[in-house]
Structure 1
Amino acid sequence: MFHPTVYENLKVAFENYLYDLDNQEAVITITNREDILDMAVMSRQFTLQFALAGHEEPTAEVRLYSSVADLAAEILEEGDPSELCSLVIRFRYKVRDLKRCKEAEVILINIWLPELPIRQVILYPYDTASEKPDYYSVSADVRFNRRIGEGQIEDIPNLAEHMIRSLMELSGKL
């Protein structure tokens, strides 16, 4: 009989919790879902993106990764089963002034703790007619200092609460 992997169990737990927040509680709206198997390197990536209900921006994403080495370690029962997946929380928003990126960073650090690195990447459309773009698209990643396993499934409600709080504060300040 097929036994689901740690990655699959985490993916389903995130899906169930976040879709309940969308469909039953109407707190968020799921805006995108990706479930990718990269056959070249046998890695898996799951992404679930959402926004606050009634809003298009900013958005938050749960990004769950697992490599072939992680899968092999699980099947061969080698290594620590609590460290088989990587998790990144990503926020996307637009700003007209780059000074707002510092404000966003402060918001995210206050919610996610100073020891979690926040990495912002700024993109903007290139237009030869103007020197300054109308807006900058920002992607801010919250990276965790450790990998996760099934033991962290109980943390999903707390993660979702932090993500929703981040969206509320970002939408109110940017």
Structure 2
Amino acid sequence: MFDPTIFENIKVALENRVYDLDTLERKILITNRTDQMDFAILSRRFGLEFILLDNVDLRAEIVLSTSLRDLAGEILEMKGEEPGCSLTLRFVSTVQSDAVPYREIGQVLHTIWEQEIDVTQTVSSVLGEEPAEFTYTIEAAFHTRIDEEHMQEIGNFLVHVLRTMEALGRIIEAIQE
């Protein structure tokens, strides 16, 4: 009999909760879904991208991933291995200015998520494009790898994701003015 992996179990639980925020609670709108298997390195990646219904200028993506080592360690029940998944949040917005308040955004993220994340902020644009638009990306990678023991925390995790989106939305709105 097939026993789903940690990745599959968390993916299904996370997907169900996010879809509830879209279809039942009507707080978000899911704009993209990816479910990938990389055959070159035998890894898995699942992503759900969405917007808040009251702020379409900011997209969020929750990315769940796992590696061959984790999958093999779990399926083969290898001693000493602690299989799990990595979790990353990505927030993307298009802004009219490259003057982004990096420190303020970093402080907001670390206030909401404490010190559980590594934050990367990137601004990019197409050279010569007029009027200039900048794509602003914030990536928060979690230090803690997750497994089925964390499944009961998904609801609270999503509350924090929505809080983060609201806070970032206010900052981005302020720089657009």
Residue matched to 2:5: 5
Contact kept, 8 Å, 2:21 with 2:27, in 1: the verdict is yes
Runs of 5+ unmatched residues, structure 2: 173-177
Q: Is 1:141–2:142 an aligned residue pair? A: no
Name which of structure 1's ranges 92-101 and 149-158 shifts more when overlaid on structure 2: 92-101
* Residues in 2 aligned to 1:146 and 1:3: alpha-carbon distance in whole angstroms: 24
Structure 1 distance, partners of 2:104, 2:125, is 19
Q: C-alpha deviations, 1:23-43, integer Å up to 9, x for none?
A: 000011111100011111111
CA RMSD of aligned residues (A): 1.8
Cα offset, 1:142, TM superposition: 1.3
Structure 1 unmatched runs, 5+: none
Please identify runs of 4+ aligned residues in structure 1 that moved more than 4 A: none
What secondary structure, in the 3-state scheme, does the structure 1 residue paired with 2:156 have? Answer: helix
1:151 counterpart = 2:152: no
Greater percentage in strand = 2
Residue in 2 that maps onto 1:17: 17
Rounded Cα–Cα distance in structure 2 between residues aligned with 1:116 and 1:35: 23
**What CA distance in whole angstroms lies between the structure 2 residues aligned with 1:13 and 1:71?**
18
Compared CA separation, residues 149 and 114, structure 1 to 2 (3 A): closer
For the residue of structure 1 that corresponds to 2:60, the secondary structure is: strand
2:99 maps to 98
Q: How far apart, CA to CA, are the structure 2 residues paired with 1:99 and 1:60? A: 18
User: Do the aligned residues in 1 keep the contact of 2:121 with 2:138 (CA within 8 Å)?
Assistant: yes
Counterpart of 1:110 in structure 2 is 111
Distance 1:88 1:16, change over 3 A: same
1:47, CA displacement in angstroms? 0.5
Residue 45 (structure 1) aligns with: 45
Aligned to 1:33: 33
2:98–2:123 contact (8 Å) kept in structure 1: no
SS class of match (1:84): coil
Match of residue 160 from structure 1 = 158
Contact 1:98 1:136 in 2 (8 A): no
- Shift, 1:124, TM fit: 1.1
For 2:116 and 2:26, locate their aligned partners in 1 and report how far apart those are by CA, in whole Å.
32
- CA distance in 2 between partners of 1:150 and 1:27 (Å): 26
**CA offsets, 1:139-169, max 9 Å, x none?**
1111111211111111111111111011111
Q: TM-score, normalised by structure 1?
A: 0.89
* CA distance 1:156–1:115, shift in 2 (3 Å): closer
Shift of 1:21: 0.5
Identity of aligned residues (%): 38
**Deviations 1:4-33, CA, capped at 9 Å, x for gaps:** 110000100110000001000001111110
Distance 1:107 1:155 in 2: 21
Match of residue 175 from structure 2: none
- How many positions carry a matched residue from both structures? 170
* Cα offset, 1:80, TM superposition: 4.8
